[in-house]
């Protein structure tokens, strides 16, 4: 979402080149974790659990709407849509669907997985992102962002340390993961007191650790409560002829560590 450092990040990060299989049936990578909660979207999300993402000033929320036409259930997926707003003006010509839910608590060790299928489209950015629920700005954990027709996705962290302090590559804050985005993939992250560990289809793609440093804001991720946001972002110059666009979410799962599991990666 925040790509003004993207050139630095790209050159600082090795592209993970292997394409992941469409669905990984081998769940040995979940050893030590117990499924605590899931939503398989056989119906529209429970409004006591999920919220529709409201419109906001930040670009990821700029065109958000609660319009019912942006939310659909198809074959056990919730389908989030981006389309032209028939009532839109020059400043707000689009409307997009997004949902969010409480995810991580501070000091909590937890695993999140989302199985999703992207419809790669120029000017459209599907995302699955963790955001502090206290309104703290410029802190994000991106399970996935996919830009236009790219055949790779970003998994990344953002903080004061990576942006304001100009330290996006010590340790590397972003990984590029080669995928077939128009197929289903499982995007996951594990949060520990001292690290974040990312996965695609059960294969570990990146670890972002806490490191000893006097530079502020390096690892705020264990100190805050986070919500999970899933949605579509449009650029200001997105070509309206590519719309509507769909983003398919098959399921969302939260895991907790087993009692015998140490809870440290």
Q: How far apart are CA 128 and CA 188, in angstroms?
A: 10
Amino acid 90: pLDDT: 76
Q: Are 227 and 61 in contact (CB under 8 A)?
A: no
Q: Is 117 in a helix, a strand, or coil?
A: strand
* 3 neighbors 163 (Cβ within 8 angstroms): no
In angstroms, the first-to-last Cα distance of the chain is 27
DSSP class of 247: E
Structural domain includes residue 265: no
Query: Beta partners for 174?
Result: 156
Six token digits for residue 102: 């409480």
Neighbours of 74 (CB within 10 A): 10
| Average pLDDT per block of 10 residues along the chain, 265 residues long | 44 41 58 94 94 93 95 97 88 94 97 97 97 94 96 97 97 96 96 97 97 97 98 91 97 89 53
Residue 145 is encoded by which pair of tokens? 């962002």
- What residues have CB less than 8 Å from 31, skipping those under 6 apart? none
pLDDT score at 2: 52
- Number of domains composing the chain: 1
Domain membership of residue 117 (yes or no) is yes
pLDDT for 88: 78
Does residue 263 fall inside a structural domain? no
Question: Is residue 159 a part of any domain in this protein?
Answer: yes
- The CA-based angle 227-228-229, given to 5 degrees, is 115
Confirm whether 1 is domain-assigned: no
108 located within any domain: yes
The answer to whether position 160 is within a domain reads yes
157 domain residue, yes or no: yes
pLDDT at position 100 is 98
Distance CA 111, CA 197 (A): 9
Q: Tell me which residue range forms the domain holding 76.
A: 6-257
Q: Residue 244 sits in a domain of what CATH number?
A: 2.60.120.200
Q: Which two tokens stand for residue 224?
A: 């805050």
Q: How far apart are CA 26 and CA 218, in angstroms?
A: 34
């Amino acid at each position: 979402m925040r790509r003004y450092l993207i050139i630095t990040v790209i050159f600082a990060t090795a592209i993970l080149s292997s394409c992941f299989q469409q669905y990984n049936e081998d769940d040995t990578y979940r050893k030590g974790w117990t499924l605590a909660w899931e939503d398989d979207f056989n119906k529209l999300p429970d409004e006591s659990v999920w919220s529709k993402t409201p419109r906001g000033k930040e670009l990821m929320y700029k065109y958000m709407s609660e319009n019912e036409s942006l939310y659909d259930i198809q074959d056990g997926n919730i389908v989030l849509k981006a389309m032209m707003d028939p009532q839109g003006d020059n400043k707000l010509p689009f409307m997009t669907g997004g949902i969010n839910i409480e995810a991580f608590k501070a000091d909590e060790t937890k695993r999140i997985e989302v199985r999703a299928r992207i419809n790669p489209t120029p000017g459209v950015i599907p995302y699955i992102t963790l955001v502090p629920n206290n309104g703290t700005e410029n802190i994000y954990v991106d399970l996935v962002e996919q830009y236009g027709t790219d055949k790779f996705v970003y998994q990344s962290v953002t903080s004061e340390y990576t942006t304001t302090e100009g330290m996006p590559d010590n340790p590397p804050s972003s990984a590029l993961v080669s995928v077939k985005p128009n197929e289903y993939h499982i995007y996951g992250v594990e949060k520990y007191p001292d690290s974040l560990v990312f996965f695609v289809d059960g294969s570990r793609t990146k670890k972002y650790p806490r490191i000893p440093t006097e530079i502020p804001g390096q690892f705020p991720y264990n100190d805050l409560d986070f919500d999970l946001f899933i949605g579509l972002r449009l650029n200001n110059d997105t070509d309206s002829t590519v719309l509507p666009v769909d983003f398919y979410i098959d399921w969302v799962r939260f895991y907790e560590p087993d009692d015998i599991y140490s809870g440290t990666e």
